[in-house]
Amino acid sequence: MVNGGQSAEADVSRSSARGVVKALSENYEQVASIELDQRITASLQAFSADVVFPVLHGPPGEDGTFQGFLEILDYLYVGSDVQASAFAMDKIIAKNIFAEAGLPLARQIMVNESAGVAAAADQIVKELGSYVVVKPSSQGSALGVALIDDENQLHEALELAFTFDRRLLVEERIDGREITVGIIDTSQGCEAFPVIEIKTPESSWYDFEHRYTEGLSEHIMPADLPENLSKELQAFAVTAHQSLGCRDLSRADFIVAGDDSYLLEVNTLPGMTPTSLYPDGAAGFGLDFASLVSHLVERAAARHP
């Protein structure tokens, strides 16, 4: 199991890893936690790893870079391959794929750092207005994301987001309920976990702090939604997983406003911390944590030529 690295989410990765190691140890005698650093090749060789479980968040562990490294060295690994990982991590590319698949999306534009903050802000206001969400294209855990109320906040938010990424996705801001649906590949095909609603204290949202601080978010499963809407969200999550070419697992995030739903993004390596959504969804699906991680490892092991 590989974790850590140099990304802005490295500490979250290490937190996830502690739980994964403990759960894997319930079913496997030889489990190692390996840091993603300059000694990674030697560390994997020393352990003689049969299957690598990347418990990584953000680049280079989640964007296809590490997956390509593992394929070059001929290691079996849990999760999506190089292409699907790269597509999902780049929010702009992913949204184009989702649009082709007919999935429901908010209005959006892309802005580039090379144009300058002032020009980017003018373009956003002209095309979307000033009530928007600013997102770095290739970051996770809501890092660099800002919810903008008016034009006065926009310049500062763009400057911050550009420190994470030179390309930004800017979406119209839709007030609604934060919803997530986990996906798992099984022998029966691509299956959806129960729909979960994420609730945070008033005037807050599911940002980095609320994701990883125990007690700052509540997961309601199943979400209190009409049955037809819940099934629709599960179907959208399956389509998103398949349209990106994801493998083994993913988690799709939505905003639901009334009867309308909007797909935000797909995470190919969802968090596995004590406060994470994906293990909660798996429990609702009937898989305890140890069974979940074993299932994922066994699927990877079965990919031997």
Average pLDDT, the chain: 91
Enumerate residues 6+ apart whose C-beta is below 8 A from 156: none
Mean local confidence (pLDDT), 269-283: 88
Which phi-psi region, left, alpha or beta, contains residue 167 (left: φ > 0; alpha: ψ -120 to 50)? beta
How far apart are the C-alpha atoms of 57 and 54, rounded to whole Å? Answer: 9
Structural domains in the chain, sorted by start: 2-78 (3.40.50.20), 87-104+175-301 (3.30.470.20), 108-172 (3.30.1490.20)
pLDDT at 278: 95
Mean local confidence (pLDDT), 13-22: 90
Residue 13 has pLDDT above 90, yes or no: no
Mean local confidence (pLDDT), 11-35: 92
Mean local confidence (pLDDT), 151-166: 91
pLDDT at 210: 47
How far apart are the C-alpha atoms of 304 and 300, rounded to whole Å? Answer: 8
Model confidence at 131, in pLDDT bands (50, 70, 90)?
Answer: very high
List beta partners, residue 249. 184
Mean local confidence (pLDDT), 107-112: 96
Model confidence at 143, in pLDDT bands (50, 70, 90)?
Answer: confident
pLDDT at 8: 74
pLDDT digits (tens, 9 = 90+) for 63-92: 999 999 999 999 999 999 999 999 999 999
List beta partners, residue 109. 170
- Residues known to be catalytic: 9, 141, 212, 251, 253, 265, 267, 271
pLDDT at 142: 64
Indicate the pairing of strand 196-199 with strand 189-192. unpaired
Mean local confidence (pLDDT), 189-206: 83
The stretches of the chain forming alpha helices (DSSP H) are 10-24, 40-47, 65-72, 82-89, 91-100, 117-128, 151-162, 208-212, 227-244, 277-285, 289-301
Mean local confidence (pLDDT), 1-23: 88
Among 125-134, 205-214, 217-226, 245-254, name the one with the lowest average pLDDT.
Answer: 205-214
Contact by Cβ (8 Å): 94, 167:
no
pTM greater than the 0.75 cutoff: yes
Decide which of 276 and 134 is more confident. 134
Contact by Cβ (8 Å): 95, 64:
no
Residue 216 has pLDDT above 80, yes or no: no
Model confidence at 11, in pLDDT bands (50, 70, 90)?
Answer: confident
Mean local confidence (pLDDT), 262-274: 90
